[in-house]
């Protein structure tokens, strides 16, 4: 196994861990009796973790599979419907859908 295979398989888990740490940090900031040492540690983790996740994401490979079915192939007339339903145009290349998975 090489690093890109690990990145591909574990990025989602690492990103989820980042989100969980961030949400806990956010709640602790609001506490009157928050422990400054814990807040400092969590903040340090988040500051280092964020660029590491960006680097991992940039080195990941994108693997997509398309199953071409007659009802999924569309003409240029209703192209918007195909993109939103996951279909692809016959003459266009693959589409990569991006989303905000951090909940922000």
For 55-92, how does the pLDDT look when each residue is reduced to its tens digit (9 = 90+)? Answer: 998 888 765 434 555 554 444 444 444 444 444 445 55
Q: Which two tokens stand for residue 17?
A: 């861990």
Cβ(25)–Cβ(39) under 8 Å?
Answer: yes
Higher per-residue pLDDT: 64 or 25 = 25
Under the banding of pLDDT at 50, 70 and 90, the label for residue 97 is low
Statement: the pTM of the whole predicted model exceeds 0.75: no
Q: Which two tokens stand for residue 98?
A: 């991006």
Higher per-residue pLDDT: 17 or 77 = 17
Q: Which two tokens stand for residue 70?
A: 């007659």
B/e letters for 60-72, b = 16+ CB within 10 Å, e = fewer, are eeeeeeeeeeeee
Q: How much of the chain exceeds pLDDT 90, in percent?
A: 43
Residues 6+ apart with CB under 8 A from 43: 25
Radius of gyration from C-alpha coordinates of the chain:
20
């Amino acid at each position: 196994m090489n690093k890109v295979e690990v990145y591909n398989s574990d990025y989602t888990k690492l990103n989820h861990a980042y989100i969980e740490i961030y949400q806990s940090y956010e709640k602790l900031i609001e506490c009157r009796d928050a422990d400054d040492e814990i807040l400092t540690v969590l903040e340090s983790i988040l500051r280092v973790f964020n660029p590491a996740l960006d680097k991992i994401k940039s080195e990941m490979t994108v693997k997509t599979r398309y199953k071409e079915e007659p009802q999924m192939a569309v003409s240029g007339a209703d192209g918007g419907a195909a993109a939103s339903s996951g279909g692809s145009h016959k003459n266009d290349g693959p589409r990569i859908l991006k989303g905000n998975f951090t909940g922000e």
